[in-house]
Amino acid sequence: MDTTPLANGPNLLEVRGLTKIFGTLKACDQVDLTIAKGEIHALLGENGAGKSTLVKMLFGSLEPNAGEIGWNGKTVNITSPGVAKKLGIGMVFQHFSLFEALTAAENIALSLADDTPISTIAAKARALSYSYGLPLDPDSLVGDLSVGERQRIEIIRCLLQTPELIILDEPTSVLTPQEADKLFETLERLRAEGKSILYISHRLDEVRRLCDRATIMRHGKVVGHCDPRQETPASLARLMVGTDVKNAERTTASVRGQELLSICGMSRKPAGPFSMPLKNIWLEVAGGEVIGIAGVAGNGQGELFEAISGEALQDSADAIRIRGQAAGRMGISARRLLGAAFVPEERLGHGAAPRMRLSENLLLSRHTTDGKAFVGTAGLVKSGAIQKAAQRIIQAMDVRKSAPDPEAAALSGGNLQKFIIGRELDRNPAVMVVNQPTWGVDAGAAARIRQALIELARNGSAVLVISQDLDELFEISDSIAVMHNGELSKPIPIAEATLERIGLLMGGAEPGHLDHEKEVA
């Protein structure tokens, strides 16, 4: 490892002493970064390390307090995303900014802000998408597309502006292994064409596979530069976190307990034009075990979660049993009272109200289960008790924040997720259902969350984890079922599950799945 940046070509971007201060917090402190022409440069760091702040300054969304940015040897002042685009800096965001009710081409046209007719844009986008191996139908509605396809729109939107530097924020967090492989091929091609890429990721394997150099940030500072191909995932993680990161330890399941969550032949009609039906789902989760549900985004996982949580009711009470009680006609609060806890995929706006404080967000899911502790006579809210409980959760899960009781939206994704999971764990639920527990969460926080889920199961609870991250499922599950096109496969015990077998099921290769196979372009 080397602390001075080494360049293997003329530098495209040279950042010197870039500093951004929010109040008393130095989000970026004297950051130096160089990116050469034609390299894929990884930016590594835990959530809250300052990566997002850094790239926002590079993209003109934030103004630095100090420091300078050199572009092609000249000092530039990037005052807005427009300036960044004109210089040739493009960005693909982790959270897509697409309108679901518009087509892909219309979404691209919106960001171009000139009068090019949609048909021209569509033709260009189609040509570009095929030439980079990212097939995309520009006329399809975004709402109908999978997350992977939506990402392609973002990438193509970025490529249409022929950037020299492309910033990708956590691009593979939503892709299947096969989709990720395709993305890597595209990125390697872009590199071969002399474009530079700044690649932000937590997935150390792919950084090692793809990137030429890496810059590692911790607490707002650059703590090192290295060649990721000469490091191990463990050594990279150590650089990022500052201490050793352990994989979650999975002790073998003790005796399989009683069935705590049973889904018996549940079906559900599609709720809207963009949603998936659920078809005859059977699943049993017993105390002491973790069952993982794999699947490409948009194959009914969200609908399944809503059905189990009680945000959508079932036609028959027996379709879902929680701790033996028929719960199909119960709402979410009644299911919580039976001992179930739920963590949805979207953190902001679903699991938490963005503009409410953490303590208020604690009340969100626990006003009924902890009615006595948090709500007094005549519906009076006991804010003192809630504050105390919130602090307890913040400590237990090591939630990092800038104010004593900040709004949920002010927290980084990983820290908010730690709080939301901690909020449910704090109750010691008998049944825990989690959708995407670690999406967009850094390695340290993810390890902590996974460990907490395993521990919960080993203490006798039933844990159901819906995730698109296969590594995660293999790490924590006792068996894995696969969701495809609204159907759920039988759970495969972890000893018999291989990446290939699960990958095939995700693609729909199981009798009964083939009929419905949809062309995922």
Q: According to CB under 8 A, which one of 300, 339, 344, 422 is a site residue for other proteins? A: 344
Q: According to CB under 8 A, which one of 352, 432, 446, 480 is a site residue for other proteins? A: 352
**Burial code of 196-212, b = ≥16 C-beta within 10 A, e = fewer?**
bbbbbbbbbebbbebbb
Residue number with CB closer to other proteins (436 or 477): 436
Binding-site string for other proteins from residue 384 to residue 423, where x marks contact by CB under 8 A and - marks none:
----------------------xx-xx-------------
Using CB under 8 A as the binding rule, whether residue 484 contacts other proteins is answered as no
Residue number with CB closer to other proteins (66 or 112): 112
Q: According to CB under 8 A, which one of 67, 88, 277, 354 is a site residue for other proteins? A: 354
Using CB under 8 A as the binding rule, whether residue 424 contacts other proteins is answered as no
Q: According to CB under 8 A, which one of 10, 17, 82, 324 is a site residue for other proteins? A: 82
Q: How many residues form the binding site for other proteins (CB under 8 A)?
A: 56
Instruction: Find the shortest distance in angstroms from Cβ 306 to other proteins.
Output: 9
Q: Are the C-beta atoms of 184 and 207 separated by less than 8 Å?
A: no
Q: Residue 341 burial by CB count (10 A; 0-12/13-18/19+): exposed, middle or buried? A: buried
Binding-site string for other proteins from residue 105 to residue 144, where x marks contact by CB under 8 A and - marks none:
-----xxxx-------------------------------
Instruction: Find the shortest distance in angstroms from Cβ 95 to other proteins.
Output: 7
Closest of 276, 320, 338, 336 to residue 483, by C-alpha: 276
Residue 513 structure tokens:
């799945």
Restricting to residues 22-41, which ones interact with other proteins according to CB under 8 A?
22
| 320-322: strand order across its sheet | 278-286, 259-268, 320-322, 325-326
d(CA 61, CA 499): 40
Instruction: Find the shortest distance in angstroms from Cβ 78 to other proteins.
Output: 9
Q: Are the C-beta atoms of 134 and 186 separated by less than 8 Å?
A: yes
Q: Are the C-beta atoms of 33 and 222 separated by less than 8 Å?
A: yes
Instruction: Find the shortest distance in angstroms from Cβ 121 to other proteins.
Output: 13
Residue number with CB closer to other proteins (236 or 394): 394
Using CB under 8 A as the binding rule, whether residue 346 contacts other proteins is answered as yes
Q: Are the C-beta atoms of 442 and 414 separated by less than 8 Å?
A: yes
Closest of 307, 312, 215, 299 to residue 261, by C-alpha: 307
Residue number with CB closer to other proteins (424 or 478): 424
Q: According to CB under 8 A, which one of 116, 254, 333, 395 is a site residue for other proteins? A: 333
Neighbouring CB atoms inside 10 A of 392's CB total: 13
Q: According to CB under 8 A, which one of 189, 229, 355, 388 is a site residue for other proteins? A: 355
- Span near other proteins by CB under 8 A; candidates 84-92, 134-142, 210-218, 256-264: 84-92
d(CA 407, CA 410): 5
Sequence-ordered list of residues with C-beta below 8 angstroms from that of 14, at least 6 positions apart, any chain: 33, 34, 69, 70, 71
d(CA 356, CA 371): 20
C-alpha 451 chain-centroid distance: 18
Q: According to CB under 8 A, which one of 8, 75, 97, 131 is a site residue for other proteins? A: 97
Residue number with CB closer to other proteins (408 or 497): 408
Phi, psi angles (nearest 5°) of residue 383: -70, -30
Phi, psi angles (nearest 5°) of residue 278: -105, 135
Using CB under 8 A as the binding rule, whether residue 88 contacts other proteins is answered as no
Q: According to CB under 8 A, which one of 332, 390, 483, 506 is a site residue for other proteins? A: 332
Restricting to residues 425-444, which ones interact with other proteins according to CB under 8 A?
none
- Span near other proteins by CB under 8 A; candidates 120-128, 185-193, 207-215, 361-369: 361-369
Neighbouring CB atoms inside 10 A of 511's CB total: 6
Q: Are the C-beta atoms of 358 and 418 separated by less than 8 Å?
A: no
Q: Are the C-beta atoms of 336 and 369 separated by less than 8 Å?
A: yes
Using CB under 8 A as the binding rule, whether residue 339 contacts other proteins is answered as no
- Which residues bind to other proteins, rule: CB under 8 A? 22, 52, 56, 59, 61, 77, 79-83, 85-86, 91, 93-95, 97, 110-113, 169, 309-311, 331-333, 336, 342, 344, 346, 349-356, 360, 363-365, 367-368, 375, 378-381, 406-407, 409-410
